[in-house]
Chain A
Amino acid sequence: MSLETKYPNEVKQILSKYPPEHKRAAVMPLLYLAQREEGYLTKDAMRDVAQIVDITETEVAALVGFYTLYHDRKEGKYRMQVCTDLPCALRGADEFMNSLCDRLGIKVGETTADGFLTLEAATCLAACNRAPMFQTQGPDGIKYHENMTVERTMDLIAVLRRSGREVHS
């Protein structure tokens, strides 16, 4: 089903933000919308978005490739993106990441066997004062988790697994 059929109001609302002669500007919010359910962008989804904003599939694919929050293949339902950049690393982010890997039994970039969680390293997320921290990217958007410990992270994963939803504060 096309995006316009599935989310007519959202598509209309997104397009209304930009001048009609520059509807290409709507491509990025539309890609988020298209990625919402599967967690990644299929070739069909890219074609669909391309048609809405009147650009080519190649142009859409080039955007998906450029920006790190768009994904072109299926990974875990949730992506846990741990900041390991300098300020966080000065506050123990690397050690945090290593322990997480041990606890989850996967390496950075890998997905848990049940396909639930993909662990990734992220560049600075503007939360340097609350390291260690990570964001989760999943069906309910992106959420920050700051001043984390490995224990609390494991608890969070357990809650996520159980409820299937991120609880927004």
Chain B
Amino acid sequence: MSYVVLRHRDIPDLHTFDVYTKNGGFEAFKNAVTQMTPAQVIDVVKNSGLRGRGGAGFPTGMKWSFIDNKNWPHYIVANADESEPGTFKDREIMEGNPFQFLEGLAIASYAVGANVAYVYLRGEFWQLGALLDEKIAELEKEGFLGDKLFGSEYSLRIYTHLGAGAYICGEETALLESLEGKRGQPRVRPPFPPSVGLFGKPTIINNVETFTNVPMILANGADWYKSMGTADSAGVKIFSLSGRVRKPGNYELPFGTTFRELIYTHGGGVQDSRAVKAIMPAGASSSLILVDDEKILDTPMDYASVRTLKSELGSASVIIVDDSVSMDWLVNKTVHFFRHESCGKCTPCREGTYWMSNIIERIHQGQGTTGDVDLLLNVAKQIQGKCLCALGEFSTMAVVSGIERFSEDFKNAVTPEPLPQLYVKEREIGKA
């Protein structure tokens, strides 16, 4: 099959303006602006079944139709904060196929009536930001961005904006705060961004991969897109495969491809030919899928099917864990990540991630007791359902699933009896 999003793998030098336009680039955008109403564009996207690729999987066309048309101006923001451990797809898209991403962003801008679009890149994508700036300048020069495009009344500017190191800015309202020059702490919702977003104005935020699908959908039609994937999850998805596989990388596959195909056909199998012990299908935020039965690997990767394994597909950042890994080590890694990245705004996440990291560190260092494992599980559950945004919830996923589904690993890591004296350790949490 040919690629939809990672088209640069089919077409050499697609990142150059000439090659991109020779391959039909910007026809979809031009056609939309000159031949279609914004509502028609939204309808096509709605009918395609495209869902947000950032993790939540919200229907894209429906989101666009929520924009408040009584309040202007409108903004559109591309979420290029890609920070979930295990996710590295947006980077490849923007490096390899930047114009298709920008074209998708432009089409979306037209559809929701935004004249300004921002690309919010994580600060570490400093080089990528410079690259996109070049591409944007090229588009302005060639008349694909700017005032009164293609002789219409529609004008559009795209600007890049660099974050500065904060996972939480991938959360859309934290991203908006950050873009406004504030600490990236999530806002209370409702109101949602399509009503009150950037600078208090209606704003649509989508993931880079979501936007990059759009030009192809407009070019080939909704039915074409829907014909790929499953009924619940239409189209193709980039699966970022990492962990203990021979060939980690991005794989663009239709929704519904099995774990087995991803790992063995594309990923070259597990390193050292070991057995798969666990899968984290949505990066560090995943509930761990216990692979105690070969059949589990035959589960199709779509939103609904992964849910039957008591996990979520999320951003499809598939981390493969083999049987050489002990889960207390793994949970220690994820909890430390979330403790470091908690924005600190709400109590359960701020205090809970800190508390969990103390307990799991103790367990992992061999200083824990069985009581500590129970306490860790209890604290994680106590965080659940109480946080301001999803980060707090995410921080508990590997903890709860790890302890519940891999209890042996934790049993082996702790001493059954309480230690004679309290584990004493000077500790100062600061920036790592």
Q: Do chains A and B touch in the complex (CB under 8 A)?
A: yes
Question: Does the CB pair A86–B166 fall under 8 Å?
Answer: no
Q: Which A-chain residue is minimally distant from B185 (CB atoms)?
A: A66
State in angstroms the CA–CA spacing of A120 and B430 once bound together: 13
Question: Does the CB pair A141–B127 fall under 8 Å?
Answer: yes
Contacts of A89 in B (CB 8 A): 333
Question: Does the CB pair B85–A128 fall under 8 Å?
Answer: yes
Contacts of A124 in B (CB 8 A): 83-87, 167, 284, 337
Residue pairs across A and B with CB atoms within 8 Å: the count is 149
**B224 contacts A by Cβ under 8 Å:** no
**B389 contacts A by Cβ under 8 Å:** no
Question: Does the CB pair A87–B242 fall under 8 Å?
Answer: yes
Question: Does the CB pair B333–A28 fall under 8 Å?
Answer: no
State in angstroms the CA–CA spacing of A28 and B431 once bound together: 19
Contacts of B249 in A (CB 8 A): 129
* Neighbour of A86 across the interface among B91, B178, B284, CB < 8 A: B284
The size of the chain A interface, using a CB distance under 8 A, is: 45
**B90 contacts A by Cβ under 8 Å:** yes
**B184 contacts A by Cβ under 8 Å:** yes
Q: Which B-chain residue is minimally distant from A129 (CB atoms)?
A: B248
**A8 contacts B by Cβ under 8 Å:** no
**B334 contacts A by Cβ under 8 Å:** yes
State in angstroms the CA–CA spacing of A128 and B247 once bound together: 11
Contacts of A143 in B (CB 8 A): 126-127
Contacts of A31 in B (CB 8 A): 164
- Residues of A17-59 at the interface with B, using a CB-CB cut-off of 8 Å, are 17, 19, 22, 24-29, 31-32, 53, 55
* Neighbour of A91 across the interface among B90, B126, B243, CB < 8 A: B243
* Neighbour of B165 across the interface among A67, A109, A131, CB < 8 A: A67
Question: Does the CB pair A67–B163 fall under 8 Å?
Answer: yes
Question: Does the CB pair B178–A28 fall under 8 Å?
Answer: yes
Question: Does the CB pair B242–A126 fall under 8 Å?
Answer: no
**B123 contacts A by Cβ under 8 Å:** yes
State in angstroms the CA–CA spacing of A19 and B116 once bound together: 10
User: Quick one: given A63-B183, A129-B241, A142-B126, are A29 and B162 in contact (CB under 8 Å)?
Assistant: yes
Question: Does the CB pair B199–A142 fall under 8 Å?
Answer: no
State in angstroms the CA–CA spacing of A69 and B91 once bound together: 19
Per-residue contact bits, chain A 121-133, to B (CB 8 Å; 1 contact, 0 not): 1111111111100
Question: Does the CB pair B337–A86 fall under 8 Å?
Answer: yes
**A168 contacts B by Cβ under 8 Å:** yes
State in angstroms the CA–CA spacing of A137 and B125 once bound together: 11
- Residue among A31, A53, A63 with max Cβ neighbours from chain B (10 Å): A63
- Residue among B84, B317, B431 with max Cβ neighbours from chain A (10 Å): B431
**B325 contacts A by Cβ under 8 Å:** yes
Contacts of A141 in B (CB 8 A): 126-127, 130
* Neighbour of A66 across the interface among B88, B91, B184, B199, CB < 8 A: B184
- The contact sample of 5 A-B pairs, CB cut-off 8 A, is A28-B161, A86-B85, A124-B84, A126-B82, A142-B127
